[in-house]
Amino acid sequence: MEKRTFKNIGKAISLLGFGLMRLPLKGESPGDIDYGPAEAMVDRAIEAGVNYFDTAWIYHAGQSEVFAGAALNRHPREKFNLATKLWVRALESADQAEREFGQQLEKCKVNSFDFYLLHNLGEDAWDIARKLRLYELFNKKKEQGLIGNLGFSFHGSPDHLERVAKEYDWDFAQIQVNYLDWDAINAARQYRILTERNIPVIVMEPVRGGALAKLPTKAAEILTDADPTASHSSWAVRYAASLPGVMTVLSGMSNMEQVEDNVKTMTGFRPLSDGERETLERAATAYRSSGFIPCTSCRYCTPCPSGVDIPGVFASYNRYRSELAGANPIAKMIFQMTYSSLVPSEQAHNCTSCEQCKTLCPQSIDIPRGMKEVADFAAE
């Protein structure tokens, strides 16, 4: 497994990081993690040399940290670096932040976190973080040895990132980078803002919530023609991992097949050649022309008070757009099948345009508008 070192981090970190946010489930509830297969995936990753594991207060309805504590502590402490995040948006006081930090240590069954992040420092969360002096609070914990490295994750605009990055002496930062978003959400500028300041970058969503593993037909053909033996997600993972200044690329793995594919990609890692980069640019152009809604299924927008399954609705519509881009004559029928797998109370027509979800989407998707688009299409 390829490992990278950064002067300020002081230890070698595996280029593949395991994101503990899309673990296999036993039932429908996001908190109902299926420990057997999920622990087997963690074991295999550690065996292959993965030493960075990323969880958060909110993942799997609070159960991801509990799983991390159970699964990782079956291994020697030096085998894993544990990163978790504080959900800043919901904080009302510094005392609450202190309390939650203590609970996180307990849930994860560790005495300290190797990496600790202020989660999603968009403009709202940033105001809260500054008001509650969270950097100062957690920097003190770093001095006390309770945190190894202090950073933040981010989904906002480059201008706002510039403000956040220059305000404090961050050890690292986590941003969304993939070949589709490099231009689409200005990931290129975000990456430069961090690397120009020598802030090590942790990449999230390299496969865009799985969307770059299930490409629209035309985009898929471009990659398969270029290399029939490589999975489409391995192209996306290599794109992110080829960037200098990237410490680790997080993959939110859901099954053993994904673990094996990522391990294969990151063992004896081969950076992209210029020709492969050009191939990916062509695939990205084909993807964009499919008219997809850029949802990553992160579920930050849920629950909807009207019961709409927002990521489920967008996933079925994106499947349709992708089939349409591939000139599949039964694209509409495929949409009907996937859309009807949502129960009627979860479908787009239940959206009341209350806008509660709108500011919660890190991809800046106009969700009520998207719901109307899908509801109108489904009614056709």
CA distance 130 to 123: 11
CA distance 53 to 254: 14
Closest distance between ligand SF4 and the C-beta of residue 134, in Å? 23
Looking at the Cβ atoms of 275 and 305, the one nearer to ligand SF4 is 305
**Quick one: which segment of 89-97, 148-156, 212-220, 292-300 binds ligand SF4 (CB under 6 A)?**
292-300
Choose which of 298, 331, 374, 378 interacts with ligand SF4 (CB under 6 A): 298
Q: Verify binding: residue 110, ligand SF4, rule CB under 6 A.
A: no
Q: Verify binding: residue 88, ligand SF4, rule CB under 6 A.
A: no
Q: Verify binding: residue 361, ligand SF4, rule CB under 6 A.
A: yes
Q: Verify binding: residue 242, ligand SF4, rule CB under 6 A.
A: no
Q: Verify binding: residue 8, ligand SF4, rule CB under 6 A.
A: no
Looking at the Cβ atoms of 282 and 372, the one nearer to ligand SF4 is 372
CA distance 135 to 151: 9
Fill in the per-residue mask, 332 to 351: x = in contact with ligand SF4 (CB under 6 A), - = not in contact.
-------------------x
Closest distance between ligand SF4 and the C-beta of residue 125, in Å? 14
Closest distance between ligand SF4 and the C-beta of residue 158, in Å? 19
Choose which of 310, 324, 325, 374 interacts with ligand SF4 (CB under 6 A): 310
Looking at the Cβ atoms of 102 and 303, the one nearer to ligand SF4 is 303
Closest distance between ligand SF4 and the C-beta of residue 300, in Å? 4
Q: Verify binding: residue 158, ligand SF4, rule CB under 6 A.
A: no
Nearest Cα residue to 234 out of 203, 271, 200, 287: 271
Nearest Cα residue to 184 out of 95, 293, 83: 293
Q: Verify binding: residue 371, ligand SF4, rule CB under 6 A.
A: yes
Q: Verify binding: residue 353, ligand SF4, rule CB under 6 A.
A: yes
Choose which of 186, 297, 328, 336 interacts with ligand SF4 (CB under 6 A): 297
Looking at the Cβ atoms of 177 and 301, the one nearer to ligand SF4 is 301
Q: Verify binding: residue 124, ligand SF4, rule CB under 6 A.
A: no
Closest distance between ligand SF4 and the C-beta of residue 313, in Å? 8
Q: Verify binding: residue 120, ligand SF4, rule CB under 6 A.
A: no
Q: Verify binding: residue 295, ligand SF4, rule CB under 6 A.
A: yes
Q: Verify binding: residue 60, ligand SF4, rule CB under 6 A.
A: no
Interface residue list for ligand SF4 (CB under 6 A) = 295-301, 304-306, 308, 310-311, 314, 351-357, 360-361, 363, 365, 367-368, 371
